[in-house]
Amino acid sequence: VGILAQNILFIGDGLPLILPPKSGGYWLDPPLDRHVETSPTLSQGGFGLESYDIMERDSEAKVYQEFFRHRYHHSFTACDPSLGPLVLSVCLEEEENRLRVILRCCSVHGTFSVSLFQQFPTAVELAKFSCLLFLHQKAPEIIMAFDEHRVSQNFKFGVLYQREGQLTEEDILSNSEESEEFLEFLSILGQTVKLQGFTGFRGGLDVSHGQTGNEAVFTSFHGREIMFHVATKLPFTEGDTQQLQRKRHIGNDIVALVYQEGNTPFISDVIRSHFLHCFIAVRRIKRENEGEGGDGGSFQSSVLREFLLTKLINAEISCYKAEKFSRLELRTRSSLLEALRSELSSRSQCMLGEPSQPSIPLTEGGRSVPEGGGGFIENFKRAIRVRSHSFDTLGVPKKAGGVAGQRPKVSKYQ
């Protein structure tokens, strides 16, 4: 960075906020040759809030809750030699005359017209299939939790403070003093809160022993909780040029804000991290008519806050599509899907009293199920035997159809 830093400082004004590294790996939004005025006070600057809706990380995560959870439906499980574990949910929407199906292997979801199927299998035919029907009463809640495991209402972002002439990671992470301008910017992002005893989303910060500093910036935004890892508020360690206490948190974030004071651009690869994939640079530009005592005008606008927070959330959601995160997510989903299939299969077999399957060690209430507990069917048989024994002990004749000793009548209702 040495020679590059000298050249950048020599050039001075006229450089963009961010410089992509020569090695590549980053792209700019908007590109350098298409920079436009984005003042919140301008209607033509592309700053309108209608253009910056919050993205959904998984648009299909709520499908089961919305269309299956409170309707009569069936869920099945199987294990395909090539596809691995499969969990299928099927719901017949009679009013639309169609089937709604969720196949959980590659997150496939779709609706199909009933006319596509020549006939529906009977209960006996379903029993012959190589898939298991879930019968456990808690199955919908467990399936819904799996579908929504990617949906998070909590976010954490890094905040870096870059002063004039600072180009290296060591320089940027060593800042401990906060200017009035920087504090004003933090107040736009959120509220400065005391970490001791904090009960909201803490984003990995210590709220009991003060090991990650005394304060942090936190905010709630459209039903989401956001914690900011502000470098200047994280512990500063004398003699540590890398400032590992600060980098430990910011380096594990996916998106970071860079607030710049001065005209020195930020070089996107100076912060060495396996997780940081996106940097958003912010620099205050004083207008000629603003004056020294100006209130900042658009700088304090709530529109700027809306824009930045939406941009941060959308940036993180977009970063999950990067190859590194998508591979990790695929492995995680595969493991969770196998755990879902295994848990639901075990619970269903336990409920049916399947003798060949081991009993589940714990139920929802935390009580263990004894060996050979028998599940629903065995408990039903046991209840019938107890009832019959009670009648015999009391000497009460068992009645059927209202007449003792006679077989009950069976009537058919059309």
Tokens coding 348:
């269903």
For the chain, the average pLDDT equals 75
**Spatial CA neighbour of 182 closest among 283, 49, 100, 81:** 283
For the stretch 105-123, pLDDT in tens is: 865 555 566 667 677 666 5
pLDDT of residue 217 exceeding 60, the answer is yes
pLDDT in tens, 380-407: 445 445 444 444 444 444 444 333 444 4
Distance CA 273, CA 253 (A): 9
pLDDT at residue 188 greater than cutoff 70: yes
When pLDDT is cut at 50, 70 and 90, the band that residue 204 belongs to is very high
What are the pLDDT digits (tens) for 260-284?
998 888 988 888 898 999 999 999 8
- In this prediction, residue 2 carries a pLDDT of 53
Do residues 262 and 163 lie in contact, with contact meaning Cβ atoms separated by under 8 Å? yes
Pick the CATH number of 63-147 from 3.40.50.1000, 3.40.50.970, 3.30.1120.160, 3.30.470.20: 3.30.1120.160
Alpha carbons 177 and 233: distance in angstroms, whole number: 9
**What is the CB neighbour count within 10 angstroms for residue 141?**
11
State the amino acid at position 293 in one-letter form. Answer: G
Summarize the confidence of residues 175-200 as an average pLDDT: 95
Question: 312-322 as b/e, with b when 16 or more CB fall inside 10 Å?
Answer: bbbbbbbbbee
User: How confident is the model over 307-324, as a mean pLDDT?
Assistant: 91
The whole-number average pLDDT for the span 286-310 is: 70
Count of alpha carbons within 13 angstroms of residue 135, beta-carbon side: 15
pLDDT at res. 133: 67
Predicted confidence at residue 322, as pLDDT, reads 86
Domain with CATH 3.40.50.11210 in the chain: 2-33+153-319
Write out the residue limits of the CATH 3.30.1120.160 domain(s) in the chain: 63-147
- CATH architecture label of 2-33+153-319: 3-Layer(aba) Sandwich (3.40)
Q: For residue range 80-94, what is the model confidence (pLDDT) as tens digits? A: 777 788 888 888 887
CB 47 within 8 A of CB 303: yes
Q: Are 259 and 160 in contact (CB under 8 A)?
A: yes
Q: Which of 48-52, 155-159, 233-237, 389-393 has the lowest mean pLDDT?
A: 389-393
